[in-house]
Amino acid sequence: MSMFEPLVFSGVQPTGNLHLGNYLGAIKRWVALQENHNCIYCVVDQHAITQAMSVWGGPAELMRNTREVAAAFLAAGVDPQKHIVFNQSRVRQHAELAWVFNCVARMGWLSRMTQFKDKAGKDRENASVGLFTYPNLMAADILVYRATHVPVGEDQKQHLELTRDIAQKFNVDFSDRIAELGLGMETKSGDETISSYFPLTEPVIGGPAARLMSLRDGTKKMSKSDPSDLSRINLIDDPDTISKKIRKAKTDSEPLPSDLEGLATRPEADNLVGIYAALTDTDKESVLRDFGGQQFSVFKPALADLAVAKLGPIASEMRRISADPGYVDAVLKQGGERASVLAEATMRDVRDIVGFLQD
């Protein structure tokens, strides 16, 4: 067990079409963590520009999406007074630490990142350098606060393993210097005890919605960028649209099974049961106890009513908050100021540890 102060950090990219996967896999769980932890939640706008401008939409769209994602955090119940909410680019220390991590992480580590391979596609020569080094910036987002816990969906697991590898290499490479400056925590590294500056962050991944799948194809992740709007439920969808998308969701023709094993070869059924479970804060077993043996003609309307009841209030709250962009901007500004104080304290240490002269 490390002695680091528990702190939660997570982020969402402002790239449009915030969907049910983002909510159930991440944001809803952030809200729960606020009860017992200090939390920092970030709209990671610097990550949004890693792909072609035609993908992220250009400056006006980025500003709109940044405010919309911030409004979604607030509408879902993130508390910007007790915790910290801001957009990444306001806190320069993220990019500054990412540079140091560019020099800690190895090419081989980044070459294994599956999200880079997916996003770069076949034309890798034409991918931005930022898309390749993006996991180093993500590690910096987390470690500039020395955060210990990061709640995300399953797709971010590999990036969090990389974050631990970067923290570990930094700690080992600079161990003597960290100890000399008295900045470390005693931690175990294999059989040795070393003086660590960064915690080995724990991923907080799990529950029935850690990886929501497309409503059109149970083998593909629900994603912001899927060209088919029917593949996902957007947080701003109105009740009729939500009901229609669930009605049209791909399924098979069998009734629901009564145990988990029966879902193993039925990805679409598994996905809808997972959504029901996550929306009701239960698990898939319990949903199957209620609906096992029922046809989709019974289950889908029940799921649609549930989704409308849970998401409707969030969508109307998002609209209410978005009607006052001055409020959202003030939240982000104040959050950025608070985050900067914490991030600068870390960077002062890091500059000393690395050997950068400063006043």
Q: Which residues are catalytic?
A: 119, 221, 224
State the Cα–Cα distance between residues 273 and 285, nearest whole angstrom: 9
* Rounded Cα distance, 27 and 129, in Å: 29
C-alpha angle 184-11-98 in degrees, rounded to nearest 5:
50
Cα angle 5, 11, 13 (rounded to 5 degrees) comes to: 165
| 44 contacts ligand TRP (rule: CB under 6 A) | yes
In this structure, what DSSP letter does residue 213 have? B
Interaction between residue 314 and ligand AMP (CB under 6 A) = no
Which residue of 138, 209, 233, 278 would you call a contact of ligand TRP, by CB under 6 A? 138
Indicate the residue type of 62.
L
| Residue count, binding to ligand TRP (CB under 6 A) | 13
Per-residue binding letters, 153-172, with ligand TRP (x by CB under 6 A): ---x--x-------------
Report the partner that residue 336 touches, choosing among ligand AMP, ligand TRP, none (CB closer than 5 to 8 A by kind): none
Binder of ligand AMP out of 7, 8, 9, 21 (CB under 6 A): 21
Residue from 72, 91, 142, 233 in contact with ligand TRP (CB under 6 A): 142
**Contact map string, positions 204 to 243, toward ligand TRP, x by CB under 6 A:** ----------------------------------------
Of ligand TRP, ligand AMP, none, which one sits near residue 353, judging by CB under 5 to 8 A according to partner kind? none
Give the integer Cα–Cα distance in Å for 212 and 221.
6
- Which residue lies nearer to ligand AMP by CB, 158 or 282? 158
Q: Give the contacts of 269 (CB within 8 A, at least 6 positions apart).
A: 218, 251, 252, 254, 256, 257, 263
Determine the Cα angle at 85 with ends 162 and 99, to 5°: 35
Q: Which residues bind ligand AMP (CB under 6 A)?
A: 12-13, 21-22, 25-26, 152-153, 155-156, 209-212, 221-222, 224
